[in-house]
């Protein structure tokens, strides 16, 4: 399927806690029906992945710490996101055992304490570009991990797919706009479609939830860094984020149904198009990486999450339990504003607090996200969609330059971006030229990985 129209007519309808197509799953969890749910993410400290028993025991302790904290605080709803490390994919029984043990703990707390919960299984993309992205053993391991996770009770299936990353990494460090466009619009989009046809086909009772442009747009965001340490232009990172919505949208056009994974900051654009619930992160990702979008990213969330935090010991207990507590109180404010019919006002506060901090925040505002979403659905091919998203992002930045107070160097680079996208060739010629160029420039780039 192809999305050809928006799910929402006006920005005021793009609200946190409300999705046009809400979901019910897990142990009586309801998402997008007028309430925001906390979703907590975590990674074990290095070393636990060396032995199955050690790994399994630490995940059990982590899950117990999360559930004990939420009961102790008096909250009643939570979603867990287990991001697989590579050994959990290479040894599929490791990952499936973790899912089984976690679901048993969630069931126990549902029966004994009435905690409504669900588990997202995010399988690691362990594929090697040089070995192949389509038929290699690593591909089979990933698909088996999804299948085993479904069998053990995973409620949601997600992945942070890496298609296009080899060309993107080469290009972003060189400000090579052709390579950036090629990696997102052609390579990543094709790879997402391939993967999600497979994931959806084996999802059974689990919900194929969604992908994220971590390997591309989040890499650009981290490189852009803050207002002082700019390793790449922020306007470039902004345009990359807008274009990345095209590759992430591809998974929904192959059958994913949300809720989108939190580290896809482009999810606000996705929600504007699909109406599916989305998870988001912002200020709560600070232990993993800094960003300039701390509050505004919550404006349209249905789940509020954190970037992965290493499981460690804090004064108050496990680090992951402390992060959950922060999420719960953030969510409590959002849900109370809904109850008091002040959610539109509170959303405005979230938006205005960050909207003009940086171009990267500007395009995540619901009004601007809706504009980019509209540009995307107005086109038919992923290539044309990415170009349209980039052009709309440039327009939005230009219209707000006086409020953004961008340095002169950023304004000059914005002009270069605008000129590039005004003069790109038609798709077939662009692909032919890019395949030839990056086959020579990027050793790990294999056109056959993308059926080129």
> What are 393-413's pLDDT values in tens digits?
999 999 999 999 999 999 999
> What are 387-398's pLDDT values in tens digits?
999 999 999 999
pLDDT for 101? 98
* Alpha-carbon span 391 to 385, nearest angstrom: 10
* Angle made by CA atoms 150, 153, 155, in degrees to the nearest 5: 80
Which of 179, 239, 234 is CA-nearest to residue 430? 179
Checking DSSP bridges between strand 317-318 and strand 313-314, what pairing results, if any? antiparallel
C-alpha of 123 from chain center: 13
Burial class of residue 316 (count of CB atoms within 10 Å of its CB; 0-12, 13-18, 19+): exposed
> What are 302-342's pLDDT values in tens digits?
999 999 999 999 999 999 999 999 999 999 999 999 999 99
Mean pLDDT of 2-6: 97
Contact between 59 and 99 (Cβ < 8 Å): no
> What are 78-89's pLDDT values in tens digits?
999 999 999 999
Which residues are CB-contacts of 434 (< 8 A; sequence separation ≥ 6)?
178, 179, 182, 186
The two structure tokens encoding residue 105: 């703990």
Which of 296, 159, 269 is CA-nearest to residue 281? 296
The two structure tokens encoding residue 258: 């949300």
* Alpha-carbon span 250 to 264, nearest angstrom: 13
pLDDT for 346? 98
DSSP string, 46-59: TTGGG-HHHHHHHH
> What are 242-290's pLDDT values in tens digits?
999 999 999 999 999 999 999 999 999 999 999 999 999 999 999 999 9
pLDDT for 144? 98
pLDDT for 248? 98
> What are 175-222's pLDDT values in tens digits?
999 999 999 999 999 999 999 999 999 999 999 999 999 999 999 999
pLDDT for 128? 96
* Alpha-carbon span 340 to 210, nearest angstrom: 32
Q: Identify the band that residue 51 occupies on the pLDDT scale cut at 50, 70 and 90.
A: very high
The sign of the CA dihedral 284, 256, 195, 426 is negative
Classify residue 41 by its DSSP letter.
Answer: E
* Alpha-carbon span 222 to 98, nearest angstrom: 31
H or E, element range at 352: helix 343-354
Mean pLDDT of 382-387: 98
Whole-number average pLDDT of the chain: 97
pLDDT for 181? 98
Helix axis angle, 382-399 to 189-201, nearest 10°:
120
Q: Identify the band that residue 31 occupies on the pLDDT scale cut at 50, 70 and 90.
A: very high
Q: For the chain, which residues make up each domain, given as ranges?
A: 11-450
Sole residue written with tokens 């509170």: 346
> What are 101-148's pLDDT values in tens digits?
999 999 999 999 999 999 999 999 999 999 999 989 999 999 999 999
pLDDT for 116? 98
Contact between 234 and 224 (Cβ < 8 Å): yes
Count, in order, helices (H) and strands (E) of the chain: 18, 12
> What are 228-247's pLDDT values in tens digits?
999 999 999 999 999 999 99
Compute CA distances 148 → 61, 88, 89, 91, 94, whole Å. 22, 11, 10, 11, 10
pLDDT for 402? 95
């Amino acid at each position: 399927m192809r999305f050809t129209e928006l799910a929402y007519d006006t920005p005021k309808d793009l609200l946190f806690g409300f999705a046009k197509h809400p979901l019910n799953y897990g142990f009586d969890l309801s998402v997008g029906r007028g309430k925001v749910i906390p979703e907590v993410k975590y990674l074990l400290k290095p070393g636990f992945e060396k032995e199955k028993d050690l790994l399994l025991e630490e995940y059990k302790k982590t899950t117990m710490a999360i559930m004990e904290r939420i009961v102790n605080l008096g909250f009643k709803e939570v979603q867990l996101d287990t991001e697989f490390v590579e050994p959990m994919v290479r040894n599929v029984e490791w990952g499936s055992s973790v899912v089984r043990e976690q679901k048993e703990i969630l069931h126990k707390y549902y029966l004994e304490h009435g905690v409504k919960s669900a588990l997202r299984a995010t399988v690691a993309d362990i594929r090697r570009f040089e070995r192949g992205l389509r038929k290699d053993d690593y591909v089979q391991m990933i698909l088996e991990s999804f299948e085993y996770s479904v069998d053990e009770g995973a409620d949601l299936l997600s992945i942070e797919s890496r298609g296009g990353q080899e060309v993107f990494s080469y290009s972003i460090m060189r400000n090579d706009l052709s390579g950036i466009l090629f990696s997102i619009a052609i390579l990543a989009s094709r790879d997402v479609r391939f993967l999600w046809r497979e994931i959806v086909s084996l999802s059974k009772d689990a919900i194929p939830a969604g992908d994220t442009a971590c390997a591309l747009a989040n890499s650009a965001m981290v490189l852009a860094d803050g207002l002082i340490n700019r390793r790449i232009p922020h306007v470039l990172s902004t345009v990359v984020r807008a274009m990345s919505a095209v590759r992430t949208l591809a998974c929904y056009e192959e059958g994913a149904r949300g809720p989108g994974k939190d580290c896809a900051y482009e999810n606000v654009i996705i929600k504007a198009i699909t109406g599916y619930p989305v998870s988001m992160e912002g200020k709560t990702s600070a232990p993993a990486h800094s960003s300039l979008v701390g509050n505004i990213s919550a404006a349209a969330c249905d789940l509020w999450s954190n970037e992965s935090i290493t499981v460690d010991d804090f004064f108050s207990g496990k680090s992951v339990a402390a992060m959950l507590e922060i999420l719960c109180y953030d969510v409590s404010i959002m849900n109370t504003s809904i109850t008091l019919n002040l959610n539109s006002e509170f959303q405005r506060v979230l938006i205005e607090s960050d909207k003009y901090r940086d171009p990267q925040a500007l395009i995540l505002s619901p009004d601007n996200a809706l504009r980019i979403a509209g540009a995307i659905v107005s086109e038919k091919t992923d290539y044309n969609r990415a170009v349209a998203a980039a052009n709309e992002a440039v327009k939005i930045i230009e219209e707000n330059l006086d409020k953004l107070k961008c340095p002169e160097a950023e304004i000059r680079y914005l002009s270069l971006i605008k000129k590039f996208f005004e003069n790109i060739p038609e798709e077939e010629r662009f692909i032919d030229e890019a395949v030839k160029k990056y086959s020579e420039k990027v050793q790990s780039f294999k056109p056959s990985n993308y059926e080129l």
